[in-house]
Structure 1
Amino acid sequence: MIDEEALLEALNSTPVVDGRPQDRWADEDALRQWAREHGGADDAPAIEWLRTARDVLQVATRGPVPEADLRRILTGVQQVPEVDGSTLRWRLYGPPERMLAVELVLTWYDVQTRRPGRLRPCGNDECRLFHLDRSRANTARWCSMKTCGNRLKARRHQERTRHKPAT
């Protein structure tokens, strides 16, 4: 099942390393393992749907939601209530090759609903990672204070001191 941490793993599978964009999901074996670890199919169609969902959700998190792309992923999917005594569960039905991608999309919508505005891209324009702001004040700007936050603060400080006239 896809939870918030798995959603972040998916969104953050295209980092910038040493100034070059990477795609951790370009490695078929790594993506197949990720799919299996999260209870999904790992055949070629399922893998392609996962990549598609990841790409669409990255776009949606950075800006306008690409509704047509999300509808294509969710087409033919149903949630059906199942009652077992005092327990109510919602069972997801749909094309097997899309189920993990669908769960990824549903988790993204759930986060957007429960934590509006808290899932966002890193404030460092050179970084392609995302973070879920869990701070009380909702003011976290970077994926990591150690890397992006300190780097940007140091750069801004250098720019300020460089342009400051000597006294």
Structure 2
Amino acid sequence: MDALLDLLNSRPLVGGEERDALGDPADGRRWAREHGGDGSLAELALLREARDVLRDVVCGESAPAALGPLLEGVHQTPEITSDGLQWTVRTPPHARLAVETVLAWAATEERMPGRLRPCANTECRLFLLDRSRANRARWCSMAACGNREKARRHYERTR
């Protein structure tokens, strides 16, 4: 689940400028390796594609079916172990990390529907996973985006 949020948040706005953690090959390789990938060019291309499609799906701009092409050639195989039934995902090596993020999105939607969402700050491009009991979190960070939004509303009220 952390890799899913990290992938969605790998293209933030910093000082009004987009910073793409997967844009530069060296930075992208480092990001992929930190998340268990190999950092190959094919893997980075697929991660960028997965990020963009996931972003559109989470924002409601695309239907979940748009994720289908990312899962082509992927198979799940059941195995009986001493612990019970275990599913093993078989995928081309360069696609493993992207497939894992799509599967993490699916698991999140199944267990915590509607809790993965974009930050409510219109000047922010980050996403959050609301783990609160009330399901009312709105900002990726209360210290940054939440504070800015509350200060903006206070200023408008007192103006």
TM over 0.5: yes
TM-score, normalised with respect to structure 2: 0.93
One-letter amino acid matched to 1:157:
H
TM-score, normalised with respect to structure 1: 0.88
The one of 84, 89, 96 aligned to 1:92: 89
Output the aligned Cα RMSD: 1.5
Q: How far apart are residue 67 of structure 1 and its match? A: 4.2
* TM superposition outliers: structure 1 runs of 4+ over 3 Å: 64-69
Map 1:108-119 → 2, pairs under 5 A: 108-119=105-116
- The number of residue pairs the alignment matches comes to 159
Q: Does 1:42 align with 2:39?
A: yes
SS in 1 for 2:3: helix
Unaligned runs of 5+ in 1: 163-167
Moved more, 133-142 or 20-29: 20-29
Q: Distance in 1 between matches of 2:49 and 2:123?
A: 23
One-letter amino acid matched to 2:37:
G
User: What is the CA deviation profile of residues 9-56 of structure 1, one whole-angstrom value per residue up to 9, with x for unaligned ones?
Assistant: 111111111122221211222221222233223211111101110111
Q: How far apart are residue 84 of structure 1 and its match? A: 2.5
Distance 1:44 1:148, change over 3 A: same
- 8 Å Cα contact 2:21-2:31 kept in structure 1: no
Unaligned runs of 5+ in 2: none
Q: How far apart are residue 66 of structure 1 and its match? A: 4.0
SS in 2 for 1:90: strand
User: What is the CA deviation profile of residues 88-143 of structure 1, one whole-angstrom value per residue up to 9, with x for unaligned ones?
Assistant: 32111122221111111000111111111111000011100000111111111001
Match of 1:25 in 2: 22
- 8 Å Cα contact 1:56-1:66 kept in structure 2: no
Identity over aligned pairs, percent: 54
Match of 1:73 in 2: 70
The one of 40, 62, 82 aligned to 2:79: 82
Match of 2:123 in 1: 126
SS in 1 for 2:77: strand
Q: Does 1:60 align with 2:57?
A: yes
Q: How far apart are residue 75 of structure 1 and its match? A: 0.9
